[in-house]
């Protein structure tokens, strides 16, 4: 018998989250114009593209679990799970709707239109494409800068405090003399062989 416990838990979690999402949507009314602007903004941002692999990943995990439990049915399991995953692919629009609702709650229609306009522009597209690279390089530069500032702060503070505290310079550290060799007790002569 094919074990579907993992799939059942996944389905239960999905139903629970869907109910929470629908409840949160009804808590704040969103106009159609605001939803349209939000969809345009999330499309321009490509914000939901990162979730494209959720269904394929879940399908592969489910196949792996089911095949491990029932290796003799590998072909049937693979084709069945793939078929069911394709049938569920249409529900991707639910995620798009939830993303749009989330953005519609966070931004006004005018702000959403401005976001979409900017990120659809050449500058906005370039920011999306090259922004992560620029940010990574900025962090590298900030790290190098911080190390230099730390060094200079310590050096300049020490110099300034030497004038105030008037601490005599530390004596040079003498090289430590080598430790004397540990004395080992003299070996006892071996007893003479008996004749």
For residue 195, pLDDT over 60 is answered with no
Rounded to the nearest 5 degrees, what angle is found at the Cα of 115, between the Cα atoms of 109 and 116?
A: 90
For residue 42, pLDDT over 90 is answered with yes
* pLDDT above 90 coverage of the chain, percent: 66
Entry pTM = 0.56
Q: What is the pLDDT at residue 16?
A: 43
Average pLDDT over residues 106-133: 95
Helix 122-165 and helix 109-120, axial crossing angle in degrees, nearest 10:
90
For residue 11, pLDDT over 50 is answered with no
**Least confident residue range of 24-33, 136-145, 153-162:** 24-33
Query: What tokens were used for 38?
Result: 């939000």
CA distance 102 to 25: 9
For residue 190, pLDDT over 80 is answered with no
Question: Exposed, middle or buried by CB within 10 Å (0-12, 13-18, 19+), for 170?
Answer: exposed
CA distance 68 to 44: 42
For residue 118, pLDDT over 90 is answered with yes
For residue 8, pLDDT over 50 is answered with no
Band (164; pLDDT cuts 50, 70, 90) = confident
Q: What is the pLDDT at residue 17?
A: 47
Average pLDDT over residues 45-61: 94
Q: Which residue has the higher pLDDT, 62 or 180?
A: 62
Q: Which residue has the higher pLDDT, 195 or 48?
A: 48
Question: Exposed, middle or buried by CB within 10 Å (0-12, 13-18, 19+), for 43?
Answer: middle
For residue 148, pLDDT over 90 is answered with yes
| 166 Rama class: left (phi>0) / alpha (psi -120 to 50) / beta | left
Query: What tokens were used for 157?
Result: 């503070």
Query: What tokens were used for 16?
Result: 């629970």
Collect all residues with Cβ–Cβ distance below 8 Å to 48 and sequence separation of at least 6. 42, 95, 96, 99
């Amino acid at each position: 018998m094919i074990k579907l416990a993992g799939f059942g838990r996944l389905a239960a979690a999905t139903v629970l989250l869907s109910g929470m999402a629908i409840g949160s949507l009804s808590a704040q009314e969103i106009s159609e114009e605001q939803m349209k602007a939000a969809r345009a903004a999330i499309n321009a941002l490509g914000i939901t593209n990162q979730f494209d692999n959720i269904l394929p990943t879940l399908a592969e995990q489910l196949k792996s679990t089911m095949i491990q439990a029932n290796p003799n049915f590998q072909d049937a399991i693979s084709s069945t799970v793939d078929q069911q995953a394709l049938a569920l692919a249409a529900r991707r629009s639910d995620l798009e709707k939830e993303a749009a609702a989330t953005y519609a709650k966070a931004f006004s229609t005018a702000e959403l239109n401005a976001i979409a306009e900017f990120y659809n522009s050449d500058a906005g597209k370039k920011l999306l494409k090259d922004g992560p690279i620029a940010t990574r390089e900025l962090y590298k530069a900030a790290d190098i800068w911080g190390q230099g500032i730390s060094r200079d702060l310590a050096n300049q503070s020490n110099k300034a405090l030497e004038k105030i505290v008037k601490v005599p310079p530390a004596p040079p550290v003498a090289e430590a003399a080598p430790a004397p060799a540990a004395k080992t007790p003299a070996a006892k002569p071996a007893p003479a062989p008996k004749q």
